Amino acid sequence: MNKELLGSLVGKVVKVNRGGPESSTGKVLYGGDDHFALLSEKDGVVYYHSAHVKSISQNIKSGLPVKEELSEEGLEFMKEDTLGALLTSLKYQWVKINRGGPEKIEGILDHSNEDYVTLVLNEEVVRLATYHVKSISYGVKPEKEEKTEEEK
């Protein structure tokens, strides 16, 4: 997926991949050189490494099922040109790498370079090959914060 294709999808609702743990439906917010940002109802803003995306689908007739409330208003997200620059910007943030399945991991991003990403989770230091980062999100989803406030 190149930057021109990703740029043409900004503002459109798409389905990333056809199924599996990395599949998601949402609005494309930004297209970088090797990644793009997708706003989904379930996960908030997720950055997908385009080298690992197998397909992007659009339903041109009726659209894909996404709530109308999925709005970019007041939404802040990072617009870095490359995935490497994005990872550098996320240093010391709580991140979730890969959406699900056995490759999912969460922790504080301590370091990143062309070869590997270092995450810290409790007493464990995990190094993951940068190439194997399929998707990444950071921080706490707004939905969780709202629920926490209501429960207080």
Answer whether residue 19 shows pLDDT above 70: yes
Cα–Cα distance for residue pair 116/119, rounded to 1 Å:
10
Percent of the chain with pLDDT over 90: 53
3-class SS shares of the chain: helix, strand, coil, % to 5: 20, 35, 45
Mean pLDDT of all residues in the chain? 83
